[in-house]
Structure 1
Amino acid sequence: MKPIIYKRASSLDELEQIRTLQLQNSSQNISAEEKFQEGFVTVQHTVALLEQMNSSCAHILAKDNDIVVGFALVMLSGFRNEIEVLISMFERIDGLVPKDKTFVIMGQICVDKNYRKQGIFRGLYHFYREELQHGFDYLITEVAAINLRSMQAHESVGFKTIDNYEEDDIVWNIMLWNWT
């Protein structure tokens, strides 16, 4: 069995595989029980948007041979208006992060169901930090408060909740990982 490889996204095929994994784990496509036990992703990106984001700063992948088994999206603040549900988060971050600090948004993280509990979540974040910590002070993300599995996993890596807000009956926790 070959080890999982961590790398930056570099092909259209990889971006299409991200999209497929995203759809398989979307909150709209899984049961309430699965959401609670396994976690979920909220935003669905088009392949075109994934490609634009990747051109600015390549996404982080976990691959088993040629198959994308996990991803952590990289979103620069220039994409703040591209996904409507994230605009509120960016506006809040503007008031939370000191002007002299730089940050990148972890746009979404997901591991294929068949590859969970193997350290891939941590591996994605370890590689993310290794690749981007020299260009940014902070990594910021937001997690739905009801997504307990994701909240616990992010806290275990080093994220701290710095703010929360409610939108469309969902409480969102803005979480920051300080790389300085």
Structure 2
Amino acid sequence: MITITNSSTTKELEGILKLQKQNLKNDLTPEQIKEQGFVTVSHLLDDLEKMHRYESNIIAKDGEEVAAYVLAMTEQSKSDIPRLVEMYESFDHILYQDKPVSAYHYIVVGQVCVGLDYRGKGLFDLCYNAYKDFFKSRYDFAITEIASINLRSMNAHQRIGFEVIYTYSDNIAVEWNVVVWDWKD
């Protein structure tokens, strides 16, 4: 039986890392990347523990196994995880509804992943709906970045309500879409 809940233990954070490792772009074939999507960033347990001090993550569990997750990152996280600084600083220059993203109170989706055996069963939507229900009273919207080549992820995010507000290419010519799921509409 699948349960949707907030992460609360080190074992659950380790389960997130296990699932993340199984879906890292660098460890997948081009066919898997195209058909199944991927995650880009590999976190350490220390990273997740630091992020968890500010907000918990949403996870789907099948018994004790983490079957899916949606990571929650706050602006406070950028001080703890140096590789986030550039992304948060870019929010000063990206406009949403005629204001810089940084002018809003937002939560960053640090990453979302559904385990291979659990795809196509609605877990993506269930986890994101739980994410929204948990955070919408404290944040204006959720924001994240998705590589344009990650079509499975782009389509799934747009299906539940995320909209592209900005597109850019990084220093290795990967095109990224900054997407927002507005909870104040």
- TM bucket (normalised to shorter chain) is over 0.9
Quick one: distance in 2 between partners of 1:87 and 1:136?
20
Superposition RMSD on alpha carbons, in Å? 1.3
1:116-161 Cα shifts (integer Å, max 9, x gaps): 0000000110000000000000100000001011000000010000
Displaced runs of 4+ in structure 1, greater than 6 A? Answer: none
- Give the equivalent residue in structure 1 for 2:50: 52
Quick one: distance in 1 between partners of 2:7 and 2:101?
30
Change (3 A) 1:83 1:121: farther
> What SS class does the counterpart of residue 33 from structure 2 fall into?
helix
1:163 aligns with 2:142: no
How many residue pairs were aligned?
177
Please report how far the alpha carbon of residue 42 of structure 1 lies from its aligned counterpart in structure 2 after TM superposition: 0.1
What pairs with 1:125-136 in structure 2 (closer than 5 Å)?
125-136=128-139
Contact 2:55/2:73 (8 A) holds in 1: yes
Contact 2:91/2:101 (8 A) holds in 1: no
- Give the equivalent residue in structure 2 for 1:90: 88
> What SS class does the counterpart of residue 159 from structure 2 fall into?
helix
Q: Percent identity?
A: 36
1:113 aligns with 2:116: yes
Please report how far the alpha carbon of residue 55 of structure 1 lies from its aligned counterpart in structure 2 after TM superposition: 1.6
Change (3 A) 1:159 1:134: same
Please report how far the alpha carbon of residue 77 of structure 1 lies from its aligned counterpart in structure 2 after TM superposition: 1.1
- TM (norm. structure 1) is 0.94
Change (3 A) 1:51 1:98: closer
Q: Which runs of 5+ in 1 are unaligned?
A: none
Quick one: distance in 2 between partners of 1:63 and 1:38?
20
Quick one: distance in 1 between partners of 2:142 and 2:72?
10
Contact 2:91/2:102 (8 A) holds in 1: no
Contact 2:50/2:77 (8 A) holds in 1: no
> What SS class does the counterpart of residue 104 from structure 2 fall into?
coil
Q: Which runs of 5+ in 2 are unaligned?
A: none
Contact 1:89/1:142 (8 A) holds in 2: no
1:4-38 Cα shifts (integer Å, max 9, x gaps): 21111000000001001101000011101000000
Quick one: distance in 2 between partners of 1:89 and 1:145?
17
Quick one: distance in 2 between partners of 1:74 and 1:147?
20
1:37-71 Cα shifts (integer Å, max 9, x gaps): 00000001100110111121001100111111000
AA paired with 2:117? N
Quick one: distance in 2 between partners of 1:142 and 1:100?
18
1:144 aligns with 2:142: no
Change (3 A) 1:70 1:94: same
- Give the equivalent residue in structure 2 for 1:15: 13
AA paired with 1:45? H
- TM (norm. structure 2) is 0.91
